[in-house]
Structure formats: structure tokens, C-alpha cells
Amino acid sequence: MPAVLEARSITKRFPGVTALRDVSFDLQPGEIHALCGENGAGKSTLIKLLSGLHPHGSYEGELFLGGAPAEFHSVADAQQAGLAVIYQELALVNELTVGENLFLGCEPRRGLLIDWDLLWRESGALLARVGLDVAPDTPVSELGVGSQQLVEIAKALGKNARVLILDEPTAALAEHEVEILLNLLRDLRRRGIACIYISHKLDEVFAVADRITVLRDGATITTLPTPQTSRADVIRAMVGREITELFPRHASHPGDVLFAVENLSASATRGGSARLHEISFNVRAGEVLGIGGLMGAGRTELLMHLFGAFGQRLAGNVQLCGRPFDPVTPVDALAAGLALVSEDRKRYGLVLAESIGFNLSLSSITRLRRGALIDEEREAHANQGLFGSLRVKAPSLETVVGTLSGGNQQKVVLGKALMTEPCVVFLDEPTRGIDVGAKIEVYTLVNALTAQGKAVVLVSSELPELMGMSDRILMLHDGRVGGEFARGNFTQEALMHAAMGQYEMTNA
Amino acid sequence: MKSKLTLRDFSLLLSLLAIGGFFAIAAPQFLSARNLSMLAVELAITATLALGMLLVILPGHIDLSVGSGVGLMGGIACVLIINHGWPAWAALAASIVVALVLWMAMGALIVRQRIPAFIITLGGLLVFKGVFWLVIRSHTIPVVPGGSTNLYSLLTTYYFPPLASGVLVTLVFAGLLVLNLRARRRRASLGFAVDDREVAFLKLFVTAQGLLLFVLTVNQFRGIPLPVVILGVIAMVMQIITRHTPFGRHLYAIGGNEEAAFVSGVPVQRTVIGAFTLLGGIVGITGLMQTAYAGATTTTVGDSMELDAIAACVIGGTSLRGGRGTVLGVIFGALIMASLLNGMTLLSVAPEMKFIVRGVVLTLAVWMDVKLAKR
């Protein structure tokens, strides 16, 4: 029998990077096929290609549907062909009812008007197929995340989807909701609906998938039949990369504890449920603490919370330089000597329409005053100092930041943090999306900071970077500490086990 | 790198000349000393309010209530003077204090309760209008009891005598010259781009010509009107606030990228409340000037002034999304709006047409700005 969906020798290039290299993948009728891989392995790119988001012609290679060549020029083409993607971020309109959502954009009509009778009847039938017991006229906003996901699947079934693609579907689900979802997928499999299942959670993958394909660095590494495979095989295939890059981390001589976190729990919103659970760690002067974990493990939330920019503290003690520390806003954090470089420099890092100088001094401008006015000479000198020492490649301090390359933008964000003269620095994915030369400069800067006796917390998705630059590594899993490793005990397998919640703490 | 003058720099000046030229031909009295003096007062009132508006548009907010506020603040002062016998200075001060408090409260509601400024100030527009009419009991109340003068009425009727006017303008120009040269020297010493010598000279020359023409013209009537001096002082303060204080820097940062500003340690809430409070003070001052100019408070004082203020900002190159806008641009924008209104009044254009023309000009200005910005 021909594959429902097949991708043959797909190569997808973005300016400067090859996201997929000669990737082949097939989905058999009535199969649940899991896609595994580290962050940035190419899973999302592959999905975007299958769903028509990267249209035909923007990549090399071929797609086949039921054995026949297929060309998706748009998302609509892919939907027409029976492919439905259910993203982590659900695409439902909260203010509308379940029924209205199910038929959004293809409402049944009688003449010019919506045929409400038909809509409610059909909605009821679709909801029954996914086993969701709610009235079709319930507003979506009244449903939990798990139920909303079932609505999404019902919506896909309503469009006669033959292939469901689920991207991290259980990231936000409670345990019993996960069980309901997995049962539904098994049920749909019996009715001939195939499914591509992307998840970092190996337990689920092994519970539901027939085969597992592992992607790494944009290439298919292997496709394994689940019954003949162990979790260790999958993890090995995911991380098998050699550490070839040069990390100039010097031996460190850690001093006093500068930053200590004890049993920290925090929620995203006031009164919400905990997003971070009982996290403890500390960082010493002159030390780099690496924090790793998979997407959604809570790394960014942890840093942003400690910086006063995210969430609500539920429990725990935090000390900065021996003093209790509970910043309400980043203003407090910066004043106490903590600086943060955000992972998303365009959103949280820069005012893109303004100049390099404006951005560099933004966090320090209240201190660069003479009386009520800005001391423009002192500001210019401070700016010029960092502009030079960070070697930002731009014509002048007055160049608009939005016109710079990623690496140079990142240097400006780093410079802004450094100008506040912090004693503890949080770096969240400081090398994301910048070229190798700029990466090395960031690493050198980290070394310089620790040499000055500052403490650095480095969050990174790239294990080699984390292992190369950290003195200790803390792996997060699902908002909890999954494991902590001293420099001698770094192995990619051990770290990945901890990131997937498979690490026995007794090994530490 | 040397900076060059762009078409954008000239577009405002050219539009202004076109408008002035048109009215000069269509209504010769447009260029009379008397009318230009009136125009200067009207400009001062519009521009003052628009500069206040700039403060809240820069961080990406808006204020629809300033028109009602203008009426209310002028009305409060009139009632205190005429009905309660307060001395003029106390009544004026009371009005400004009330405005400061009201606008601080609106700013606090906007940032602390996260209600969009559009809604809060739309509410303000209606509430202040109602309170205004209650305060003056929908009557017409003069700014000063029959025929005499007081501080309030002098706001728009006092003129600096010709000699004093000449000295004042000379001092202003000398000040500009010194500041300009100093800034230029400092920028050069820090290695920043400075205008070409010719361009710098041309700018100063045009400024000098403009000031000279202005003072010669108004001196043919009665001299420089007080509101123009008030505008001058407010413009100078605004220039310092927006360009030379951390507060001003923060306004631009919040408008440019509020999330980045927050994470960078900008006290977003305090800054926005501060901007609204300052705007309140300016609404107070504008309300007093506008009511004094009308001679009395009536139910229509301040009507649709919020729209002229917003239009002046936008025509002057201020982005309604925040993060972009300058004091000089806003003054030019206000000059265009004030000239249009003044000229149309001279031509006895029907009120219906006045609204339409203002709307078309505003739309054209934004369209042109979008077009020019793309290149």
C-alpha cells in the first residue's frame, strides 16, 4: 500500500542556514509516527513544509500523497489534501462557541444566512467523534486547554482530514487529559486516520507511536519501529553530535555565592497554577551556571521571574549578594545589581527604530544625569566605551539598531546590560541566530565577566554550547529541576535524560 | 557621515507656504499685521495644547478629553472670579491644579487598571463636558467683570511693546545661536555627524529671517502677543523634557517598544502617569488662554480642540503608534492647522466646509508621510 504522505529528499535553505538537509519521511495509512529531535533539529520546518506554510518551490525535493506527487502552494492546498496541523498555540476564537469555531470560515448556509440548525447538528456529531461531551453552544473560553485541543481535532475531522499533525500537543495538558488525547489518537488510527506526533515527552511517544523518526541538525538520523526500540536508543540518536566547536571557557575559581534560589515556586499569573516548582540553585562569583532544558521546560520563565518581569512568586527564598531579593519590576532588579539579556532581542531587547547609543544607555540613563538633565557627555563616553570594546560593526553610535545584523544587535543588548554594572548577569540564549564569529565574541565576553568576579547564568538550547561554557549545569524539565551536573559529569546523554525527566536524581 | 536635508524636512515648510500663498491671494487681509497677530495667538493656543498631546502620543497613548478639559478649566476660573470673587491669580492657579489632579488620575487609571487611553479619555471627554456645563450652569460668564482688565483677560490681550518685542526676539535668536554652536562643537568633538557648514548656516539664516519678519509684522500692530511668549516658554521646556531628560528618553523607549523598555528597567507606569499629569497642566494653561481669547466661557469653548491637537501632532510627523515625534514638527503642524482655520474664517467659509477641509488636510498629511517614509 502506498504511503499516505511521503517526503522525499527534502532540502530547505534559509538565508545563511540549511534547516533541512535531504530529509526523507513517510507516513503509512493508519499509523502514528512520532518525530523526535532537539530544539532546532528541523521538526518545525518540516511541519511548516507539510502544511503549505513553506510553499512548493521554496524547497528542494518532493512530496507524495497516496503515491501521487503533490504540490502545496498554500495552507489551503494542504488542507484541501486532507492535512491538518494542530499547533501548540491553539487557533480557536475564544469569544465564539464551540460550534461556530468548528465551522469557522465554512459555515453551512441557507441562501445568504447561516443554517444554524445544520451547524449545531453537525457540531454535535463531530464532538461525539472526538468523545467531547460539551454542548456545541458552549463558548470556547469556558473549556480547559485539553478540551480545546479536542475541539481543534474535531474541527480538523470536520474538514475531512486524513492526516493529523500534532505539534507538542501535551505541553499544556494535565496528566488525565494526556490520556484522553492518546486514546483518541489510537481510536482515530483504527478508523484509518494517520498522525504525525511531535513531542519531547518520550513516555507518550513510546505509549502511542508505531514508528519513531529522529531528526538532528536538519537531517533524518533514523526511523525506528517502536517495539524494537528503547528510550536510550532515541536519546542517543538525538544527541549523537560531536563537540567540535571551540569553546574558550577558562578554568574558574568560584568565590562566594552571589545568587541563591531556594525552593522557588511561581505561577504565570496571580492566582494561577504553578509554572515553576521548587527550584533551587546558586551561582558563585566567577562561575558560569548553565541552565538547559527543552522547549517549554520553563528556563525563560525562571530567568524572567527572578528578574521581576514575569509571574507571581508562590514560595521560596531568593538572595542576591546575601540580601533577600524579590523584585517587583526590572527596575528593582537592575538597581540591586542583576542584569538580564533576553532570548528575544527584537521583542524584549531593543527599541529597533532608535539608535545604537539610545539603546546602549537605556537601562543606565537615569544614573547618567547631572541634576535633572542627561549628562550627554558622560552618556556619549559610556556608549563609546562599550561600542568599541564590544566591537559593534556599525558606522556610528547614531546608526539605527534595526539596520544591524543579528550578531551586532545582540552586542548592543549585551552592552546595555553591562553598562548597568551588574554583579550577576542572566544570559538567555545569547547566541541564538548569530554567526559563529559573533558567538565566539559572546563566549569571550562571558569569560571576561567571570574573570571580573561576576556570576553568570547562561541559558542555552544547544547542549554543546552549554557543556562548553558552563562550570555547572542545571537541567529543567517541566518547570522542575531535572538534574544538576558538575563539569566532570557532563555527557550529552545524561543531560538529555535529565531534560526529558528520565534522570534518576540518585545518579547525581 | 554628513546629514542631508531630505524632502521630508521641506514638505511641511512647502505645504505651509502653499497654504499661506493661497490665502494671501484669495483674502488679501490674511497678510495684514492685525490678522497675523491674531493668527499668532491662535497658533499659540493650538500649538501649546498639541505639545501637551505629544507627551502622551510619544509613549503610544492618546487623549480625547483635552477639548472638554479646555472648556472646563477656563470655566472654573471664570466662575471663581465672577461668582465667588476670587482674585484672578488664585482662580487661574486653582484651574491648573484641578487639571493636574484630574489628568494624573486618568493616567493612573490607564496604566494601573490597564484600560486603554482611548476609552478613559473618551469617558473624560463626556464627563468633563458635563461637569463644565454644570459648573457654568450653561451660561456665558466673562473672564473679567464688565470692561476692566485682570490677569485672566490680559493672557490674550497683553502685547509686548514694539521695542521690548525687538529686544526679546534678538535675545531669543542670540540664545539659539549660542546653543546651536555649542551643540555643534560638542557633537563634532564626540565624533557624531553634524550638518554641513552651508546647511547649518542656511538653517540659522532662515530662522533669523523668520524671527525678523515675525517681529516686524507684529510690531506694526501692537507687538508680540503674550500667548506667543507662553508658547515659546512651553516649547523650550518641552524640548528640554523630550530630548534632555531620562523621562523624555523613556517616553520614546516606551513608544518604540514597551516590552523592551520594561525589561530594560524603564519605570513604564510612572513615566506614563507623569506624561498625563504634565498634559493636564498644559490643558489648564490652554483652557485659560482659549477662554480669555473668547472673552468669556460658554458651552462651546474647547469644542473639538482635541482633534486639532492630534492633527497638529500627526501633521508634524508624530507617529500615533508612539516612539516618533518632535517639538518643532508639532509646532509646524499646529501652524498649518491654525493657518487653515484662520484663512477659512477670513473667507467666510461655511462651518461645514471647515470640517471637511481640516479632515482632508489631515488625511493628506498622513498619506504623504507614509509615502515619504517608505523611500
For residue B248, give every residue at least 6 positions away whose Cβ sits within 8 Å of its Cβ, in sequence order, or none. Answer: B241, B242
Closest CA to A361 of A386, A336, A330, A339: A386
Cα torsion angle, A476, A481, A487, A490, sign? negative
Pair B137, B174 in one domain: no
Closest Cα in chain B, distance from residue A141 (Å):
21
Pair B38, B18 in one domain: yes
Domain range A257-507, CATH architecture: 3-Layer(aba) Sandwich (3.40)
pLDDT given for residue B254 in this prediction? 96
Number of Cβ within a 10 Å radius of residue A116: 14
For residue B222, give every residue at least 6 positions away whose Cβ sits within 8 Å of its Cβ, in sequence order, or none. Answer: B37, B159
Pair B76, B214 in one domain: no
Question: Which of B203, B222, B241 is the C-terminal boundary of a domain?
Answer: B222
Question: Which of B176, B199, B222 is the C-terminal boundary of a domain?
Answer: B222
* Contact (Cβ atoms closer than 8 angstroms) between residue A164 and residue A188: yes
| Identical topology for domains A5-239 and A257-507 | yes
Rg (CA), chain A: 25
CA B49 to CA B337: how far, in whole Å? 13
pLDDT given for residue A242 in this prediction? 52
Phi/psi at A97 (5° precision) = -80, 170
* Contact (Cβ atoms closer than 8 angstroms) between residue A245 and residue A294: no
Pair B170, B306 in one domain: no
For cell 521581576, the residue is: A308
CATH class of the domain comprising A5-239: alpha beta
Query: Is B2 within a domain?
Result: no
Rg (CA), chain B: 21
Residue in B192, B244, B253 closest to A396 by CB: B192
* Contact (Cβ atoms closer than 8 angstroms) between residue A467 and residue A490: yes
Q: Which residues of chain B have pLDDT under 70?
A: 1-9, 372-375
Pairing of strands B296-297, B141-142: antiparallel
How many Å separate Cα B129 from the centre of its chain? 21
pLDDT given for residue B8 in this prediction? 65
Closest CA to A424 of A303, A315, A309, A343: A303
Pair B267, B280 in one domain: yes
For cell 566605551, the residue is: A385
| CB-CB under 8 Å, B244 with A352 | no
For residue B38, give every residue at least 6 positions away whose Cβ sits within 8 Å of its Cβ, in sequence order, or none. Answer: B342
Instruction: Count structural domains, chain B.
Output: 2
CA B150 to CA B144: how far, in whole Å? 6
pLDDT given for residue B46 in this prediction? 96
Residue in B240, B253, B267 closest to A351 by CB: B253
For residue A372, give every residue at least 6 positions away whose Cβ sits within 8 Å of its Cβ, in sequence order, or none. Answer: B245
Query: Is B1 within a domain?
Result: no
- 3-state DSSP of chain B: CCECCCHHHHHHHHHHHHHHHHHHHHCHHHHCHHHHHHHHHHHHHHHHHHHHHHHHHCCCCCCCCHHHHHHHHHHHHHHHHHCCCCCHHHHHHHHHHHHHHHHHHHHHHHHHCCCCHHHHHHHHHHHHHHHHHHHCCCCCEECCCCCCCCHHHHHHHCEECHHHHHHHHHHHHHHHHHHHHHHHHHHHHCCCCCECHHHHHHHHHHHHHHHHHHHHHHHHHCCEEHHHHHHHHHHHHHHHHHHHCHHHHHHHHHHHCHHHHHHCCCCHHHHHHHHHHHHHHHHHHHHHHHHHHHCEECCCCCCCHHHHHHHHHHHCCCCCCCCCCCHHHHHHHHHHHHHHHHHHHHCCCCHHHHHHHHHHHHHHHHHHHHHHHHC
pLDDT given for residue B133 in this prediction? 96
pLDDT given for residue B12 in this prediction? 80
Question: Which of B206, B222, B238 is the C-terminal boundary of a domain?
Answer: B222
Residue in A352, A374, A397 closest to B244 by CB: A374
Length reported for chain A: 508
Query: Is B172 within a domain?
Result: yes
Residue in B193, B262, B265 closest to A398 by CB: B193
| CB-CB under 8 Å, A374 with B246 | yes
For residue A102, give every residue at least 6 positions away whose Cβ sits within 8 Å of its Cβ, in sequence order, or none. Answer: A122, A123, A126, A127, A136, A151, A154, A155, A158
Pair B202, B285 in one domain: no
Pair B141, B282 in one domain: yes
Residues from A contacting B (CB-CB < 8 Å) are: 307, 309, 329-331, 333-335, 340, 342, 347-354, 358, 362-363, 365-366, 368-369, 372-374, 376-377, 380, 384, 395-398, 416, 420
* Contact (Cβ atoms closer than 8 angstroms) between residue B297 and residue B83: no
**Cα A501–Cα A503–Cα A508 angle in degrees, nearest 5:** 135
- Cell output for B139: 451660561
Residue in B252, B256, B265 closest to A330 by CB: B265
Q: Number of Cβ pairs closer than 8 Å across A and B? A: 87
Which residues from B are below 8 Å from A327, CB to CB? none
* Contact (Cβ atoms closer than 8 angstroms) between residue A164 and residue A196: yes
Number of Cβ within a 10 Å radius of residue A224: 19
Pairing of strands A455-459, A5-14: unpaired
* Contact (Cβ atoms closer than 8 angstroms) between residue B342 and residue B42: yes
Domain ranges of chain A: 5-239, 257-507
**Cα A115–Cα A121–Cα A126 angle in degrees, nearest 5:** 120
pLDDT given for residue B5 in this prediction? 53
CA B291 to CA B293: how far, in whole Å? 5
Closest Cα in chain B, distance from residue A38 (Å):
28
CA B50 to CA B64: how far, in whole Å? 12
For cell 538529555, the residue is: A496
Pair B134, B262 in one domain: yes
DSSP state of A348: I
Closest Cα in chain B, distance from residue A187 (Å):
44
- Kindly report the CATH number assigned to the domain that includes residue B263: 1.10.3470
Tell me if residue A158 falls in helix, strand or coil.
helix
How many Å separate Cα A447 from the centre of its chain? 26
| CB-CB under 8 Å, B249 with A374 | yes
| CB-CB under 8 Å, A329 with B249 | no
Instruction: Identify the residue among B2, B262, B264 best suited for mutation to test binding to A, counting A beta carbons within 10 A and taking the highest.
Output: B264
Containing structural domain, residue B201 = 163-222
Residues from B contacting A (CB-CB < 8 Å) are: 1, 186, 190-193, 240, 244-246, 249-250, 252-253, 256-257, 259-267, 323-324
For residue B131, give every residue at least 6 positions away whose Cβ sits within 8 Å of its Cβ, in sequence order, or none. Answer: B72
CA A317 to CA A301: how far, in whole Å? 17
Which residues from A are below 8 Å from B266, CB to CB? 331, 362
Instruction: Identify the residue among A334, A358, A362 best suited for mutation to test binding to B, counting B beta carbons within 10 A and taking the highest.
Output: A362
For cell 501637551, the residue is: B52
Predicted model pTM: 0.81
Q: In the beta sheet, which residues pair with residue A113?
A: A110
Chunk chain A into consecutive blocks of 10 residues (it has 508) and report each block's average pLDDT, rounded to whole numbers.
88 81 91 86 87 89 90 88 83 89 87 90 91 89 86 88 88 78 91 90 89 90 90 82 60 86 90 88 94 86 93 92 92 95 90 94 93 91 92 88 87 95 94 77 90 93 86 92 88 87 58
Pair B227, B215 in one domain: no
Which residues from A are below 8 Å from B264, CB to CB? 330, 362-363, 416
For residue A122, give every residue at least 6 positions away whose Cβ sits within 8 Å of its Cβ, in sequence order, or none. Answer: A102, A103, A108, A158
- Residue type for position A187: D
Which residues from A are below 8 Å from B191, CB to CB? 384, 396
For residue B335, give every residue at least 6 positions away whose Cβ sits within 8 Å of its Cβ, in sequence order, or none. Answer: B16, B43, B47
